[in-house]
Structure 1
């Protein structure tokens, strides 16, 4: 039967082994290495994890796409024939001719279904092209809120709490829709399954790749790269007609996002905050709503919903495309996009939608057996912590109490039963938290750790079931009702209605209450005294200390997880804190080299200013005036040797300001010495700051300033401008520009200092976090405690069933020592990840070149060096940590002289 169809499964397997990644260009060796690693992790499956580092400028995104989608298409081809063969086992006792006919019919059914789908999507593409409706971006995000204020005149009863159902619940998000809408959305796969029996209904769904990144712009860039390569069909080519076998199969992609980005209802979108939009959207779908949203899918819009799905899958859309498509078809893109999930191969979504189980459930996302790729994963642990972080201030609690009073004054007599009880409980919780914070204002310290058990003791709030209260507030939309009514009541009738600017304080309160219900072992609550408008204030903050439990729902469900980034080094934290219980054999790590030749990188560790004066910018020593002066002289010399742009990263904004002041710098970003200053310089030696400005135009990043403005001025000073609207600069001609920035600041991540903008990057010191701050004290204590407990824990008996040897016993003293070492590593790794991000700003493509100067003696220690990316270690000048400033100057002069010679 296989011969009859000219199909050989062994050929498919052999083809997979040789792997053509379908890269649209000729890949570099490092790209081949990276793609092979991704492919192998996905192919092995079974909970495999890949932690992969590929420097920025090496085509990481395109490599991820080519490797992952090549594997997916090969997997589908192999799975197709395997499924057919498995089906044949049901007829193993039948004659061969019966089995042959059954297999042929099974293949024909699948192929016909595939061909019909591809033909339908191709028809959509043809119509789209003919109508030329896909042009450049037609609307920006800030235009979405435009439109008539459809519901300015609202009946105040809109804000009255609804009566609860007879069963005492409102059923979460799914029950906010009418019965017909729920039935339709369940049929379309837009609702989470209601019970385990329905989980098997996945016959039309194939294995999927969930790709996530940190920002909307990064996802948009990834989608642009996704449009470059082409891939073969997901059906074995031997089974297709000649026409279909020779044609590539378009990638099926759908982006997911929040209502805030996708809502096309002007009356809802104008609310601004994501919480208000979510609640108002749900409100307009309730069966008793007086004005239902006209865009939500319903039985009458089934054809439009399917049209939306086909248009989305026919193209490779980004979020703006989905928004425009929804506007064009008058169908909600937030809900309609879910109908495309079953047919999609790759789904892009931002961090929060992937990392929060509640968000995944709401969107109907199933990770089980699927692939998860997390890009820009160097900050994944911070991202997990941020998703679960919350805070609330005393001023916000007072505002919430005031709003609650206004609401109760209006509707109090109409509130009955559970609504009356729950509103009173919310008031007690607010009063209890406010009392604690009032008392904390009198504490001596500005910040500290809070015992969560003490927060709600006042007013008897500790007797309230927070789980039940949170559920009530979320299901009743209490926060939206109160904030919406107060905003409505405070609206000046003489003024036109505007986008609500009211801070969603009640939503903030609910987020904080959710944090209070988390396991106390995984997080801590802190207080921090602040001031707003010259008034003393204080806030409570929740910090997730460990991402392990929060991330486990992702790691344990997925077939494979890829963590990829430009600067993932050091790797230890990911295995220790995201996958602490994962067998080492299931983890693949890779640090790729760069695509540049070794001659394009010069890395030097400058350990001393001169004999007897080491550069060590530790907190205890960094204010030494002699060292600060010598730092200025070193940077001045570097600016003399380096053409065009030099970027210097300092450990903090405070230290940058301190150094600039010590050098004689003023408050501005860039100002050449005045004529009077130049005259004075005949008798007084010029300051370091003035000497720096004589070499290069000097700019600096400020904590509250605009990074865009500074970056624009810095770029113009190096590259000049062709803009005739800009007057010529009256500043003296200097050799490029110097940018003083901060590790972890606005310029240290996501900014491209390629080519002339970043010929040299200088790192001043090691930017360790403040270990004496309450949050870092809590982190260190948590790691020490949990590490020691894990080391001392007795191995369970079930390990013996796998014939694994028991680990050797460890003493309490040894466990404590190892725990302290683990905490030190975590602290050090946080510092080095930030350093590596800053270093990565320079080399951005194969033809680029730059020098890296690590200005601190501690960079010479092996413990620190091994936490730098492999490509940086490979470019280090051997023995530079024992060299002098003069030797560095000789190396830089030779490096850039050689590069200039090659360019000419």
Structure 2
């Protein structure tokens, strides 16, 4: 029986399906389950997620407090004297909980004060003369030139590194006597003490601090981590939160990269996120206040971090708002938001921050006992695979080898033995990479092998990749190397300018940047080497290494590690979290998530919820059409795709449908290549001048390959439809798009922009892809089908249907909307394919075995909805 309440604080009158969604979400969170939720766009999915989860969070806080009070009272015996019970009560009182509550109340009091200030004054008007003078001073400081970022060569020298067989990582810098070679404590105790001291320093902790002295676990209430694909989607989520009654009291903060949050002008202008990261970290090493970043308060300036936290949590803000808070307080939003995430109850962050374990660690994200909500989760498995796939080219390997040779030549007499040993190992590994990518011409044959076989083939299987990974991470070799190379390049450029010479290492085009740090030699190639080495620590069964001499992403030879098992990469999230929610407008086929993302999770812990659409049934007409006007069957398989008569039949079909579908029609093709082939054929007389005939009905637009032109194409398409009068001979426009292209996700074709969506064929991915074939092979090997091929076929088909479902979901966007969905391929008439369509389409799919039936149905549908 459901434990969900009857009201959830929904800001509008909720539809039954929205109440069902919130109720099921509440139950899933209560029972610590995994939930897969499908709610079509336009049904208030975001608001349902917000209200259902935040209602549960509030109720859980209340029940947790009541349970603690009950536990305390139950510990006393009723027949004991009052003085004994009082004494016991004092003993069992949880002092830590009391302290935590006092500090939370102190923070709340400060935040409430900020709320009051924000109602009456600009955020730039900070309380206190000291704050205003700080803002004026730091504004002046930000005008410093790029010379402030230059480093001395000594700053790129690696610190002493001790083997992890000894003390573990870099030498300890702790000064107290309980840690060190003369300590009487065991190594394990020393490690704990060292970690404690590091944590204290990282947050500026001291024994006399007030509310900002809390350790990480002092804020141990359940958090909700909400993640989605893009910053625009996250901003929209924040906008939705602010519509609800929870916005007043929920402590929420967004997280982002330096590229989104940095307010240092000199770092910001670097543009490239890798360079920004390195420059920021370099500035933190500066010893004088003048040289340090003016927006990064010192450990002694805890009040500035506290001010940022208070303003950040005073209302629910998006990334842009957090940047404004940072600018107004002259406090780094990147580090400030990370500090603020500790007391926050709702943390909003992009996919890559959550899904990558190393990024989670660097951001200090703790998932233990918390809730993760993944929105727009239909491509979650592909996203996980992409994040954990790393390519390394021959050029990058050669450049990294050259950089390391320069570095070790400079510091060879000053590096410790352990540093030299590890750098030499890395050099040997890079040489092995170069060797496998530069064989004799007769031996250049692409290979797909496991990690263990790859290590053996290169003769580097005797190296401990786990130790190397740890060394690279803790020594910061990649960052120090890049700083050293950039400094050396700057000095070389300066010397060449004095001698009147041009930089011999760089051939600059007219549009090339003038900064010497942009030279090929100064690229952060060791970072890519490090990423690739990290993949070699993955279990052998979970991925494959591709050795390609033509290159799949570039024209040069490359190594690529491809993750084949997203379940293992996602498993730490599932096992640490209290509950995980996957939500999307179209999650079908759900079987893929259960089989390939949660294979180790008992079925009893997984709940699948799919709600219908909020539109009346009469507002949607879905048709699958078997043949065209001249009785040519629609079967867009690989053998028939080049059939010009089939291409012509599709053109005639679309022209006829555009006679009865008003306003905007969005037509999806399997690929850009196929779209170009069809467009070219229709443009010729051989097809009967289909484009010319179509243009008489609707103005033709085509999705551009260049993503930078997508927005202008959509704008022109929209403006044309809006400006078209109903009585005009030209009744709208048609937009020719590509499945899985920019137009198939996140684009709103509501109302007149999308009265019809036409899907041409089933857009199966290219079976010529070696990566796809290896993935299918992996799935077949780990499937439970005796024949060994059914699991791979199912996966391949599901990839296709996810693309279909995303595309056809572009049409209906709100309750009053109406549209027709047209599926051109006889395979859409089969039960196997229809069961993989979104559940909100329902069972009312009209099977048109004759084309004339589709015209009759469409004409009747739009007569019924004729706008007056």
Name the TM tier (shorter chain): 0.7 to 0.9
The secondary structure found in structure 2 opposite 1:360 is helix
Superposition deviation, residue 30 in structure 1? 1.4
Residue 132 of structure 1, aligned match among 122, 135, 143 = 122
Instruction: Answer yes or no: is the 8 Å Cα contact 2:42–2:815 preserved in 1.
Output: yes
Task: Choose which of 204, 207, 220 in structure 1 pairs with 2:222.
Answer: 207
Distance 1:95 1:278 in 2: 64
Aligned partner of 1:758 among 745, 754, 760: 754
Match of 1:370 in 2: 370
**Do 1:715 and 1:757's aligned partners in 2 also have CA atoms closer than 8 Å?**
yes
1:121 matched to 2:111? The reply is yes
State how far apart, in whole Å, the 2-side matches of 1:125 and 1:567 are: 39
The number of residues matched between the two structures is 796
SS at match of 2:146: coil
Other-structure match for 1:710:
713
For the 8 Å contact 2:4–2:26, the answer to whether it is kept is no
In the other structure, the counterpart of 1:776 is 772
1:827 partnered with 2:824: no
Following TM superposition, by how much is the alpha carbon of 1:611 offset from its aligned partner in structure 2, in angstroms? 7.0
Partner deviation per Cα, 1:655-700 (whole Å, 9 max, x = no partner): 11111122126xxxxxxxxxxxxxxx9xx99511221222211121
The answer (yes or no) to whether the contact 2:401–2:427 under 8 Å persists in 1 is: yes
Q: Is the 8 A contact 2:628 2:851 kept in 1?
A: yes
SS at structure 1 position matched to 2:301: helix
Question: Aligned to 2:853, which of 876, 887, 891?
Answer: 887
Equivalence map 1:164-313=2 (5 Å): 164=161, 167=167, 169-170=169-170, 182-186=199-203, 202-231=217-246, 250-285=249-284, 291-313=291-313
Q: Look up the match of 1:857.
A: 826
Compared with structure 1, are the counterparts of its residues 417 and 277 closer, same or farther at alpha carbon in structure 2 (3 Å cutoff)? Answer: farther
Say if 1:499 and 1:698 are closer, same or farther in 2 by CA, change over 3 A.
farther
Q: Which moved more, 1:347-356 or 1:712-721?
A: 712-721
1:720 pairs with 2:753: no
**Distance change in 2, residues 1:899/1:692 (3 Å):** same
Q: TM-score, normalised by structure 2?
A: 0.84
Within the candidate set 496, 501, 514, 2:534 is matched to: 514
Tell me the CA shift for residue 369 of structure 1: 1.7
Instruction: Tell me, in whole angstroms, the C-alpha distance in 2 between the residues paired with 1:363 and 1:531.
Output: 34
TM-score (norm 1): 0.81
The C-alpha deviation readout for 1:736-785, integer Å capped at 9, x for no partner, is 11111110111111111111111111111111112342212211221122
- Name the CA shift for 1:26/1:702 in 2 (closer, same or farther; >3 Å): same
Paired position in structure 2 for 1:403: 403
Structure 1: distance between partners of 2:400 and 2:580:
42
Q: Is the 8 A contact 1:254 1:340 kept in 2?
A: yes
> 1:816 is matched with which residue: 786, 797, 802?
786
Q: Distance in 2 between matches of 1:711 and 1:693?
A: 18
> Secondary structure in 2 aligned to 1:556?
helix
The answer to whether the 8 Å contact 1:254/1:317 transfers is yes
Contact 1:88 1:99 in 2 (8 A): no
- Once the two structures are superposed, what CA deviation does each residue of 1:874-896 show, in whole Å capped at 9, x if it has no partner? 4422xx242x2221112112212
Please name the residue that 1:160 is paired with: 157
Q: Distance in 2 between matches of 1:760 and 1:73?
A: 43
The equivalent of 1:581 in structure 2 is 600
Matched, 1:21 2:8: yes
Q: d(CA) in 1 for partners of 2:143 and 2:292?
A: 20
Q: Which runs of 5+ in 2 are unaligned?
A: 126-140, 175-190, 207-212, 498-512
Please give the secondary structure, in 1, of the residue aligned with 2:448: strand
1:872 maps to: 841
Distance 1:173 1:588, change over 3 A: farther
Q: What corresponds to 1:688 in structure 2?
A: 690
Moved more, 87-96 or 656-665: 87-96
Task: Indicate if the aligned counterparts of 1:385 and 1:545 stay in contact, CA closer than 8 A.
Answer: yes
Asked if 1 retains the 8 angstrom alpha-carbon contact of 2:619 and 2:818, the reply is: yes
Distance 1:292 1:418 in 2: 31
Task: Give the gaps of 5 or more residues in structure 1.
Answer: 1-12, 136-143, 190-197, 232-247, 666-680, 723-731, 789-814
1:699 aligns with 2:719: no
5 Å matches for 1:588-603?
Answer: 588-603=607-622
Please say if residues 270 and 500 of structure 1, whose CA atoms lie closer than 8 Å, have aligned partners that are also in contact: no
Using the TM superposition, name which of 589-598 and 699-708 deviates more. 699-708
Moved more, 385-394 or 273-282: 273-282
Q: In 2, distance between residues paired with 1:532 and 1:607?
A: 37
2:638 is matched with: 619
Q: 1:821 Cα shift? A: 2.2
Corresponding residue for 1:475?
Answer: 474
Equivalents in 2 of 1:165, 1:859: separation in Å?
A: 63
> What residue in structure 2 maps to residue 422 of structure 1?
422
Which shifted more, 158-167 or 91-100?
91-100
SS of 1:439's partner is coil
Tell me: CA distance 1:623–1:721, structure 2 relative to 1, closer, same or farther (3 Å): closer
* Partner residue in 1 for 2:186: none
Q: Partner of 2:500 in structure 1?
A: none
Q: CA RMSD in A?
A: 3.7
Partner of 2:437: 437
Secondary structure at the counterpart of residue 449 of structure 1 = strand
Kindly state the Cα deviation for residue 616 of structure 1 after the two structures are TM-superposed. Answer: 0.7
**Residue aligning to 1:91:** 76
Matched position secondary structure for 1:858: helix
Aligned to 1:648: 667
